[in-house]
């Protein structure tokens, strides 16, 4: 009888533990049922070659980046863009490190905040958000996705 009980516990414990803990762990890291909004720029304002995204900063779609402190969630290319100075635009992945959300960002006080769960991330390249190399050449921003 003891062997039957032991065999039962061996086969039943893993599924029971997963059902108790696994679902909440999976839900905490999921991105939810939201669908991302449609692309917010025309294909004529950007191009992607291998691992470089090229953005025409003179396009009206990117006018928010003309002012220092201006930012844009460029959903079409999964980027958060932030104008730091006349010569620098920082580019980050717009995928929330906590829940994977891409379309619910706000920015203020040196932080990007994901409104999906309220977590904030520094807008420095040493923070939790993935930061990409970017360079401005005239009215063109080039972001190297690595």
pLDDT in tens, 83-92: 999 999 999 9
109: left (phi over 0), alpha (psi -120 to 50) or beta: left
Strand ranges inside the chain, DSSP E:
46-49, 52-56, 71-74, 79-85, 88-93, 105-108, 111-114, 120-122, 131-137, 140-144
> What top-level class would CATH report for the domain 45-144?
mainly beta
pLDDT digits (tens, 9 = 90+) for 23-48: 333 333 333 333 333 333 333 455 55
d(CA 68, CA 14): 54
d(CA 112, CA 12): 44
Residues lower than pLDDT 50 in the chain: 15-44, 49
Partners of 80 in beta bridges: 73, 92
d(CA 128, CA 125): 8
Query: What pLDDT was estimated at residue 101?
Result: 80
Query: What pLDDT was estimated at residue 100?
Result: 83
50: left (phi over 0), alpha (psi -120 to 50) or beta: left
Whole-angstrom Cα Rg for the chain: 21
Query: What pLDDT was estimated at residue 3?
Result: 64
The domain spans of the chain are 45-144
CB-count burial class (<10 Å; 0-12, 13-18, 19+) for 90: buried
């Amino acid at each position: 009888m003891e062997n039957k009980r032991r065999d039962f516990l061996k086969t039943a414990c893993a599924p029971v533990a997963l059902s108790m803990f696994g679902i909440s762990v999976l839900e905490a890291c999921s991105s939810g049922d939201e669908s991302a909004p449609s692309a917010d720029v025309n294909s004529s304002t950007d191009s992607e070659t291998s691992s470089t995204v090229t953005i025409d900063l003179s396009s009206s779609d990117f006018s928010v980046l003309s002012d220092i402190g201006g930012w844009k969630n460029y959903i079409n290319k999964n980027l958060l863009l932030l104008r730091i100075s006349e010569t620098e635009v920082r580019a980050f992945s717009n995928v929330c490190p906590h829940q994977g959300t891409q379309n619910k960002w706000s920015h203020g006080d040196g932080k990007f905040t994901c409104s999906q769960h309220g977590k904030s991330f520094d807008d420095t390249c040493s923070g939790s958000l993935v930061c990409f190399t970017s360079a401005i050449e005239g009215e063109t921003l080039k972001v190297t996705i690595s």
